Amino acid sequence: MTKVAQFLTDAERKAFDLEHRRKIRFNIGKYNAAVETGMGWYQDHELARARASYLKSKIVNNLDHYLLEFEKNFTARGGKVIWAQDADEALHEIGKIMQRRKARTVVKAKSMTTEEIHLNHYLGKLGIDSLETDLGEYIVQLNGERPYHIVTPAMHLSKKDIADIFVKHLGIEYTDDAQKLVLTARHLLRDKYTSAEVGVTGGNFLIADTGAIAVTENEGNARLSATFPRTHIAIVGIEKLIPTMQDLDLFWPLLSTSGTGQQVTVYNTIYTGPRQPLEKDGPEEMYVVLLDNGRTNLLAQPDKREALQCIRCGACLNICPVYKNIGGHTYEATYSGPIGSVITPHLSGMAENKHLSYASSLCGACTSVCPVKINIHGILLRNRQQSVSEHLNDREEKVAIQLWMRTMLSRRLLNLLPARAKNYALFRMLSLVGWSKRREALEVAPRSFNKMWRERKK
């Protein structure tokens, strides 16, 4: 089955799964209510969005300069930078570090870039136990799933679902007490932090003027993953830069408020490299893997590169009517929802993923909530235009559009076709996009307005 056919099949199944929709509406509803409350703490939220958009645009349009500035400042304190053009390069370099450290266990904080390069699968092939320490990631890892949401990996699961997963995979007694479930996971993970040879995190922001990585979280697991192991590896997309340390006072609240409604997340940590001579804790060595993996494909397109400004808050997913109905797993991509539909065709190939840019109502809700003011629905239209200009659309679609265009440009041709022929053509064209499957067929009037007007003039 092609990716398009799989997407349509999965989307229809999820859209008509009422229990799935109930869970998602309940969980997203809680976030949306919290975000609405959180916005009340802003005196001028639009000004904050405008400033953030300006700073990220400045970064994206001068990315080479800021990347080199970050590398210079990070390596000055003993950190090491690895430039990875794609997932294979990143995994190869990470594998060499694991081999040198004789690693058997890795503790891993929540990171979408590690999902992007399929790090857990790679480490598993090396015989290395890679354990997710974020509670949501740990739950979906136990259940053999991918993250459902870029901020809340287990958003599709109810409390009962999680309890069943713990009973099945951990052998505990069934309980629907959320606190007991959290304590169970915490107890199992605690010893792993002190025994793991390597800790892996992502990075919410790379700070150019300091050469530092800022990590935002709510559980403290990322801080533990980076503190106890002797080696810390941060895998970060090259677009995650901000100019200065002072800019965090703008971006930290925007990220947390847009994503979860918090004024600021519980743990916000800045890593500036390995442990220094007078410091009591921290890793002996620290690496930052700067991951391209298709990002420069977007950078090379001025009309779409603003998508690289994304700070991964998840707001566009929470507001999107399509995402709320078809679910995160349907996208079959690391990044789901509106922003995923924008960037995935450029990260993973337009030919295989062009259908994602059509998985949108173009209502513009995603653009209206983006904290860095990315014109998401506009870029989705440009992706569609690109797929057509590269002749990636189906033959049937091309023929249908050509026939429609020629007919609409010629009143004589339009009048030649009887109503029955027009209805048949409409039915066939709309069937291609699934219109006729769930809706009544469209029918044209027996006589066109043009004909009636001529008769009236006579």
Residue 272 sits in the same domain as residue 138: yes
> Is 137 inside any structural domain?
yes
Residue 86 sits in the same domain as residue 232: yes
Residue 110 sits in the same domain as residue 230: yes
CA distances from 173 to 180, 191, 257, 368 (A): 11, 21, 37, 45
User: 64: which residues sit within 8 A by CB, 6+ positions away?
Assistant: none
Domain of 75, in residue numbers = 64-148+161-237+265-293
> Is 409 inside any structural domain?
yes
Report how far residue 417's alpha carbon sits from residue 279's, in angstroms, rounded to the nearest whole number: 83
Residue 288 sits in the same domain as residue 405: no
User: 319: which residues sit within 8 A by CB, 6+ positions away?
Assistant: 32, 365, 366, 368, 369
Q: Dihedral of the CA atoms 288, 294, 299, 302 (nearest 10)?
A: -160
> Is 339 inside any structural domain?
no
Q: Which of 93, 86, 114 is nearest to 348 (CA)?
A: 86
> Is 85 inside any structural domain?
yes
Residue 79 sits in the same domain as residue 227: yes
Pick from 293, 312, 339: which residue ends a domain?
293
Report how far residue 386's alpha carbon sits from residue 374's, in angstroms, rounded to the nearest whole number: 19
Pick from 293, 313, 340: which residue ends a domain?
293
Pick from 257, 275, 293: which residue ends a domain?
293
Tokens coding 80 = 């090491």
Tokens coding 129 = 């136990």
Residue 79 sits in the same domain as residue 201: yes
Residue 414 sits in the same domain as residue 279: no
> Is 227 inside any structural domain?
yes
> Is 33 inside any structural domain?
no
| CATH code (residue 78) | 3.40.50.10420
Report how far residue 22's alpha carbon sits from residue 17's, in angstroms, rounded to the nearest whole number: 9
Report how far residue 163's alpha carbon sits from residue 412's, in angstroms, rounded to the nearest whole number: 67
Tally the domains of the chain.
Answer: 2
Residue 74 sits in the same domain as residue 199: yes
> Is 26 inside any structural domain?
no
Q: Dihedral of the CA atoms 11, 13, 14, 17 (nearest 10)?
A: 160
The one-letter code for the residue type at 47 is: L
Residue 279 sits in the same domain as residue 428: no
User: Cβ distance 343 to 376 under 8 Å?
Assistant: no
Enumerate the β-bridge partners of residue 358: none
Which segments of the chain have a pLDDT < 50? none
> Is 372 inside any structural domain?
no
Give how far the C-alpha of residue 36 lies from the chain's centroid of Cα atoms, to the nearest Å: 22
pLDDT, residue 433, reads: 67
Residue 85 sits in the same domain as residue 232: yes
